[in-house]
Amino acid sequence: MDIGLIEDLAALVRHQTFSRAADARHVTQPAFSRRIQMLERWVGVPLVRRLPRRAVLTPAGERFHAMVEAMPQALRLARSEALEAAGRAERALTIAATHALSFTFFPEWARSNIDAGRLGALSLLSDSMDACEQMMLSGEADFLLCHRHATDGGLLPATRFATRQVGSDVLAPFCAPDGSGRPRWSVAPASPGEPAPFLSYAPESGLGRILAADWRACSAAPRVTKVLEARLATALLRLAEDGRGIAWLPLSLVSDSLRGRRLVSASGVDRWTIPLQIVLRRPVGPLGAAAEALWRGISADPA
């Protein structure tokens, strides 16, 4: 059986509709539907119920998915270890990292924690949080470097993935200054005038997920109205500098912009500042020798 069919089913469970799952798997919706049907024929029972607005697993599908969801990662690791033992391949240490941390935190952290001479080749995969989590679930990456907040559980369950904090950050609202150097807009609930234009994250963004969860948990929301949506924090940074609106951005990403006065804080209160952890995540099962050596040797940041 094509192991990719199991990954297709996992994508359908994650995204709940055939169209979104097909997009995540980079195939057309008809092709994706045929692949799910192929898996159902191989298993011998229906795995998915197709409802008007979403797809859900049948009881048989739930049992099947629970038993095989870790299989792609295990098979890739087994193949890699077999090739290493046979001397036919050198397995690169693979780290998936969200775009924002790839540009800001990762270079210095890697210099302090990754000895290329001892650990061998390193592959850095930079993408959105959603894509990085899918890499971890499918076994394409050994580690995930990302932001984390208590209100966002993410897609990687603690029963299958271990976590170690390696840094700290904050997520806060910023905008371009006006002619006098003051913020063009404010997110304070009592601020006068129209709601501030809001530069939003796309759904696949981890920072957007954290922001949405934080707003749901509080009793008051900032006075903003969404005017634009982007997938990457770096894109929102440039839009905010251009004066298009307010964006919630990690401080690690905007430090240069703040020093150059291209951005200023859009909030005078700490309520709209969200503390973040920078974490490294890995599967709880065994990894390759280089990955295990990195995990043993990294410096955890308790801050």
Question: Distance between CA atoms of 64 and 43, rounded to whole angstroms?
Answer: 9
Both tokens of 36, joined, read 């799910």
In degrees and rounded to multiples of 5, residue 5 shows phi and psi of: -65, -35
Give the gyration radius of the chain's Cα atoms.
22
The answer to whether 223 touches 191, Cβ cutoff 8 Å, is yes
Q: In the CATH scheme, what architecture does the domain 4-68 have? A: Orthogonal Bundle (1.10)
Instruction: Provide the mean pLDDT of the chain.
Output: 86
Residue ranges in the chain whose pLDDT is less than 50: 300-303
Instruction: Compute how many other C-beta atoms are within 10 angstroms of the C-beta atom of residue 163.
Output: 16
pLDDT of residue 68: 87
Check residue 4 and give its pLDDT: 81
Instruction: Give residue-wise pLDDT tens across range 226-252.
Output: 999 998 899 999 999 999 999 999 999
Q: Which residue is it, tokens 């005038």? A: 193
**The whole model's pTM is what?**
0.70
Q: Which two tokens stand for residue 270?
A: 């700490």
Picking from 133, 176, 173, the residue whose alpha carbon sits closest to that of residue 157 is: 133
CATH architecture for segment(s) 72-168+277-297: 3-Layer(aba) Sandwich (3.40)
pLDDT value, residue 145 = 96
User: Are residues 21 and 28 in contact, defined by beta-carbon separation less than 8 angstroms?
Assistant: no
Say which residue the tokens 């029972």 belong to: 45
Q: Which residue has the tokens 């904050």?
A: 170
Q: Locate the domains of the chain by residue range.
A: 4-68, 72-168+277-297, 169-274
pLDDT in tens, 76-102: 777 767 766 665 555 578 899 999 999
User: Count of H helices and E strands in the chain?
Assistant: 13, 11
Sign of the four-CA dihedral 112, 117, 120, 126: positive
- Phi, then psi, of 99 in degrees rounded to 5: -55, -45
* Distance separating alpha carbons of residues 263 and 247, to the nearest angstrom: 10
Which CATH architecture best describes the domain 169-274? 3-Layer(aba) Sandwich (3.40)
The pLDDT value recorded for residue 123 is 86
Which candidate, 251, 248, 255, 257, places its Cα nearest to that of 278? 251
Phi-psi region of 188 (alpha: psi -120 to 50; beta: other; left: phi over 0): beta
Domains 72-168+277-297 and 169-274 share a fold: yes
CA nearest 110: which of 122, 99, 98? 122
What one-letter code names the amino acid at 235?
Answer: A
Question: What is the SS3 assignment for 170?
Answer: strand
